[in-house]
């Protein structure tokens, strides 16, 4: 009896020490959590590149990991630094134009010259709705101000903390370097500690890699294509801040339901209002073709059926993720939802029957 009590006390003492040490480790790692998550995501995506460099062990694993990190640096770091300066200037200009009288005067001139507001009120009068130029002007100006301020803050968060951004990026590369080499051992260690059966822990890890890869490869490349194509069209047609709107469309491409139509449709309406009917029709047709090709041909071919989430759930995951985590919420939101869905499936398959007994 005494031996049993002694064993129980030892067990509870060990569990208390283990939980305290886990909590302290969590506190130590917490400031670097975003870096570690992004490193894990990029490691999963670039692991085939690492295997290619390390094929049949012809190249040392350390050197293969170094080459992979060098490739990540060239693909991500240099373009980010290049675009941040330009983007911050254009976003700041848009914010001040919307905040001041510049954009308001342009909207007033457009409404007066096109007489579109009078025509719209004739139709809206059937529903006892009446729009004034001041109301429409305010709504458009506020939208421009919010978009400009958000992008300016995101760009300045990088530009004003350049040293911190550089240190964080190289710290992320350091984590990727070791994950590429020792990632398999780390996964075995984590699944061994998990109280879940090994196969269920592996399902969670595999789902994380699948969703992360689908988000960055499918949505990331899809957003890049739509952002670049949209920005080029804006530049060709002489619209201001083509780079800025290209970046906006690149981010909007992550959002289902809305997508780049949130920029292309207002641009088409603008052309209709100033009498450039051909340009307006071209923008609508180009938007339908571009979004259709990317969403229904490019993404399914690249991603397949790895992302099994309802469109509306993806929409709220991204919006909620951006509110909680900023711009990285585009990635974190769907990851959180995917973990919940995977755990729900494990619960229904393995544990629900236990609670029903």
| Predicted confidence (pLDDT) per residue in 101-122, tens digit | 444 455 555 555 545 555 555 5
**What are the pLDDT digits (tens) for 263-276?**
888 788 777 766 77
Q: Which residues fall within 8 angstroms of residue 170, CB to CB, at 6 or more apart? A: none
154 domain-assigned = no
Q: The whole model's pTM is what?
A: 0.68
Number of domains observed in the structure of the chain: 1
pLDDT higher than 60, residue 199: yes
206 domain-assigned = yes
Mean pLDDT calculated for residue range 191-211 = 77
95 domain-assigned = no
What is the pLDDT at residue 312? Answer: 77
Residue 196, phi-psi category: left (phi > 0), alpha (psi -120 to 50), beta (remainder) = beta
Mean pLDDT calculated for residue range 223-236 = 89
Can you read off the two tokens belonging to residue 334? 């769907």
pLDDT band for 36, please (50, 70, 90 cuts). Answer: confident
Q: What distance in Å separates the CA atoms of residue 129 and residue 136, rounded to the nearest whole number?
A: 13
pLDDT band for 253, please (50, 70, 90 cuts). Answer: confident
262 domain-assigned = yes
pLDDT band for 282, please (50, 70, 90 cuts). Answer: very high
Find where tokens 């917490």 sit: 30
* Structural domain for 343, as ranges: 196-349
User: How high is the mean pLDDT of the chain?
Assistant: 75
10 domain-assigned = no
19 domain-assigned = no
35 domain-assigned = no
221 domain-assigned = yes
Q: Which residue has the higher pLDDT, 81 or 24?
A: 24
Mean pLDDT calculated for residue range 334-356 = 77
């Amino acid at each position: 009896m005494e031996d049993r009590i002694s064993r129980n006390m030892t067990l509870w003492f060990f569990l208390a020490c283990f939980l305290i040490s886990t909590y302290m480790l969590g506190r130590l790692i917490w400031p670097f959590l975003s870096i570690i998550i992004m490193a894990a995501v990029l490691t999963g995506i670039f692991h085939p590149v690492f295997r290619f460099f390390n094929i049949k062990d012809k190249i040392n694993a350390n050197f293969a990991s170094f080459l992979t990190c060098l490739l990540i640096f060239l693909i991500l770091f240099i373009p980010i630094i290049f675009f941040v300066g330009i983007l911050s200037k254009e976003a700041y200009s848009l914010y001040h134009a919307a905040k001041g009288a510049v954009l308001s005067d342009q909207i007033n001139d457009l409404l007066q010259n096109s007489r579109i507001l009078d025509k719209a009120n004739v139709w809206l009068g059937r529903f006892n709705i009446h729009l004034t130029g001041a109301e429409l002007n305010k709504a458009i100006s506020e939208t421009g101000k919010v978009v400009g301020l958000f992008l300016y803050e995101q760009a300045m968060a990088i530009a004003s903390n350049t040293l911190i951004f550089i240190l964080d990026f190289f710290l992320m590369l350091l984590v990727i370097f070791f994950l590429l080499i020792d990632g398999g051992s780390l996964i075995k260690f984590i699944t061994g500690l998990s109280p879940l059966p090994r196969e269920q822990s592996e399902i969670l890890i595999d789902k994380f890699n699948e969703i992360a890869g689908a988000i960055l490869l499918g949505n990331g490349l899809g957003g890049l294509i739509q952002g670049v194509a949209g920005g080029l069209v804006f530049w060709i047609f002489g619209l201001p801040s083509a780079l800025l709107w290209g970046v906006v469309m690149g981010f909007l491409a992550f959002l289902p339901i809305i997508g780049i139509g949130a920029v292309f449709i207002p641009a088409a309406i603008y052309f209709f209002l100033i009498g450039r009917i051909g340009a307006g029709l071209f923008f609508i047709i180009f938007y339908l073709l571009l979004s259709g090709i990317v969403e229904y041909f490019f993404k399914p071919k690249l991603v397949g059926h790895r992302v099994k989430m309802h469109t509306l759930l993806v929409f709220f995951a991204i919006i909620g993720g951006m509110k909680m985590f900023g711009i990285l919420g585009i990635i974190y939101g769907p990851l959180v939802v995917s973990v919940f869905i995977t755990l729900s499936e494990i619960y229904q398959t393995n544990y629900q029957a236990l609670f029903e007994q």
